[in-house]
Amino acid sequence: MSNLPEKQSKWNELTQVIFSEMEEWRTQHPKATFVEIETAIDQRLAKLRTKMLEDNSQSLAQNQKYPKCEKCGEVLHKRGKHTRHLITEKGERVEIEREYLVCPHCGFGLFPPR
């Protein structure tokens, strides 16, 4: 994973924010049930999970070799970066920037790279 210390620093900062938010939430909800506490924690952890998914998916895309065209077998070439928006199973929005690839021979396009 590239820039691991930078990513870990961001994840650590976000983790501290989550702890602070939960401390504040517990102060505001002193009689919360176990299920309510679990829901509040899950809502906040979804932010960290989303950031980690974005960072790891971005690294995966950057380390991939360019595939061959499914139609004619030529190696695909870069044609600019595009952003893709995905939704996690927890309902969080993840943004991934990847290269759009195109076949110089037949024009077949691929996003994101496999």
Residues 76, 111 share a domain: yes
User: Residues 25, 78: one domain?
Assistant: no
Q: How confident is the model at residue 23 (pLDDT cuts 50, 70, 90)?
A: very high
**Residues 74 and 57 both lie in one domain:** no
62 band by pLDDT with thresholds 50, 70 and 90: low
One domain, residues 4 and 58: yes
Considering the domain architecture, whether residues 91 and 110 belong to the same structural domain is answered as yes
Is the domain of 97 the same as that of 54? no
Cα separation values, 22 from 34, 38, 44, 78, Å: 13, 11, 8, 44
Same domain, 45 and 100: no
Q: What is the pLDDT of residue 103?
A: 85
For residues 113 and 74, membership in a common domain is answered with yes
pLDDT at 65: 63
58 and 110 belong to one structural domain: no
Neighbours of 76 (CB within 10 A): 22
Most confident of 44-48, 75-79, 86-90: 44-48
| pLDDT at residue number 102 | 84
d(CA 106, CA 89): 36
| Count of domains for the chain | 2
- Choose the final residue of a domain: 47, 63, 79: 63
Domain that holds residue 22: 1-63
pTM of the model: 0.53
Residues 113 and 89 in one domain: yes
- In the chain, the percentage of residues whose pLDDT exceeds 90 is 24
Residue 48 shares a structural domain with residue 72: no
